[in-house]
Amino acid sequence: MKSMGKQTESDEFLNEVIVPASEARTIEVLKGQVLQIVDLEGQQVGDLAAWRLEDPDEYLSPSHTVSSLAKLVPVPGDPILSNHRTPLFRVLRDDVGRHDLVVPCCDPERYSIDYGEPEHGSCLASLEAAIADQPRELPLRGEMCWNVFMNNTVVDGKIVTAAPPHPAGSLIELEVLEDLVVALSACPQDISAVNAFNPTPMALRVKGARD
């Protein structure tokens, strides 16, 4: 995939948060920093939510992003927008090139109604647990999440989900355009091919201002 940034082994990270398989974690990032979302073992999807620190009622909006970009998958150079169409991130590098901005994150009802598994973990439940101790109230709904690395395609008008083909260490790198609190769920889906039937951990890594 095309890249707008460079990474070397000497890059130093300001912060790193490991997101265990089937769980979620949060991190704060500041305008000018660079956020990496890294699949540590490969074929894993992460559900990403983000809120502006100064006004959490403004948050990452997949639907507004799709509307403004007029495309289903962002590419390097594209912004990721808020519900007020404020650019929150800009894609700098993308090793995978497959993402979903249409389908809401998995939730307890999804597993109960569609799979008959009411006790199964979900991205929504994981994200709710991760943000529960935040000092500010963060609104959260499934449609607010960006399904990073999710291998969805539209075939004859239907959404088809296949196992992600990307290997361990694949990442997407985002320039941070506003001060944000970010939450990432390492999706627990093991009933369908979303994570190749094997949920694994991810990482959030923060670098300093872009050169």
Confidence of residue 113 (pLDDT cuts 50, 70, 90): very high
> Which pLDDT score, from 0 to 100, does residue 209 have?
77
Confidence of residue 11 (pLDDT cuts 50, 70, 90): low
Confidence of residue 35 (pLDDT cuts 50, 70, 90): very high
Per DSSP, the three-state class of 21 is coil
Is residue 84 in some structural domain?
Answer: yes
Average pLDDT over residues 51-71: 97
Average pLDDT over residues 131-150: 95
How far is residue 61 from each of residues 40, 70, 83, 110, 118, measured CA to CA in Å?
26, 14, 5, 21, 27
Tell if the pTM clears 0.75, that is, is over it: yes
Is residue 2 in some structural domain?
Answer: no
| Closest by CA position to 199, among listed 41, 36, 38 | 41
Domains in the chain, number = 1
> Which pLDDT score, from 0 to 100, does residue 210 have?
64
Is residue 3 in some structural domain?
Answer: no
Mean pLDDT taken over the chain: 93
Is residue 122 in some structural domain?
Answer: yes
| Closest by CA position to 51, among listed 60, 43, 42, 62 | 60
> Which pLDDT score, from 0 to 100, does residue 211 have?
54
Confidence of residue 111 (pLDDT cuts 50, 70, 90): very high
d(CA 202, CA 25): 10
Q: Which two tokens stand for residue 72?
A: 């289903």
Q: Say if CB 140 and CB 161 are below 8 A apart.
A: no
Residues facing residue 110 across a β-bridge: none
Confidence of residue 12 (pLDDT cuts 50, 70, 90): confident
Is residue 19 in some structural domain?
Answer: yes
d(CA 115, CA 109): 9
> Which pLDDT score, from 0 to 100, does residue 9 have?
39
> Which pLDDT score, from 0 to 100, does residue 152 have?
92
Q: Which two tokens stand for residue 152?
A: 């969805």
Buried b (16+ CB within 10 A) or exposed e, 84-96: eebebbbbbbbbb
pLDDT of 98 higher than 80: yes
Average pLDDT over residues 21-25: 98
pLDDT of 117 higher than 90: yes
d(CA 152, CA 119): 25
Confidence of residue 32 (pLDDT cuts 50, 70, 90): very high
Task: Please report, for the chain, how many H helices and E strands are present, in that order.
Answer: 4, 13
**For tokens 């009933």, what's the residue?**
191
Is residue 105 in some structural domain?
Answer: yes
Domain boundaries, position 149: 15-207
Is residue 147 in some structural domain?
Answer: yes
Is residue 4 in some structural domain?
Answer: no
Average pLDDT over residues 170-174: 98
Average pLDDT over residues 178-206: 97
